[in-house]
Amino acid sequence: MKSPKIVFRKNPEFTKCPSCGEFATLRKSKARTPWEQFVKKYTPFKYYRCKNCGWRGTIFTYKVTKTSIKNLAGYLFVALLAAYIIRIILKRFIIK
Ligand SMILES: [Zn+2]
């Protein structure tokens, strides 16, 4: 069974630069410090540099869509429903 996607990866190389606003000028930048390596490895933020204006910083590499919000709401509903059912079962059979 294929699970619905919550987030979609985007490629910031084709989005506009947060500093100068030019399109397709961002290139991947290497992590310089251990902190940057940590960020690069364990978070959805990646380091990019603009070849037009020299801006360098982190960019969030996932995009949230309408479908992903719908899927997330669905998961939350199922989780809450499960918690509610477990609570009823616990009340009935364990707590007396
Ligand atoms: Zn720029």
pLDDT digits (tens, 9 = 90+) for 12-23: 888 889 999 999
30-47 b/e (C-beta count within 10 Å ≥ 16 → b): eeeeeeeeebbeeeeebb
Residues 54 and 72 in one domain: no
Expressed in angstroms and rounded, the spacing between residue 30 Cα and the centre of ligand 1 is 17
pLDDT at residue 47 in the model: 93
Q: Is there a domain that residue 1 lies in? A: no
Whether residue 54 sits in one domain with residue 29: yes
CA of residue 57 to ligand 1 center, whole Å? 11
Which two structure tokens, joined as six digits, stand for 16? 């506009």
pLDDT value at position 76?
A: 95
Residue 92 CA to ligand 1 centre (angstroms): 62
pLDDT tens for each residue of 27-80: 999 999 999 999 989 988 999 999 999 999 998 887 778 888 888 899 999 999
Residues 15 and 53 in one domain: yes
**pLDDT number for residue 67:** 84
Q: Are residues 15 and 58 in the same domain?
A: yes
Kindly report the pTM of this predicted structure: 0.59
Domain count, the chain: 2
Beta strands in 1-96 (DSSP E): 8-9, 26-28, 45-50, 56-60, 62-63
* Domain extent for 75: 64-96
For residues 43 and 53, state if they share a domain.
yes
> Are 13 and 59 in a shared domain?
yes
Cβ count within 10 A of residue 74: 12
53 and 79 both lie in a single domain: no
* Structure confidence at residue 2 (pLDDT): 57
Ligand 1: centre distance to CA 80 (Å): 44
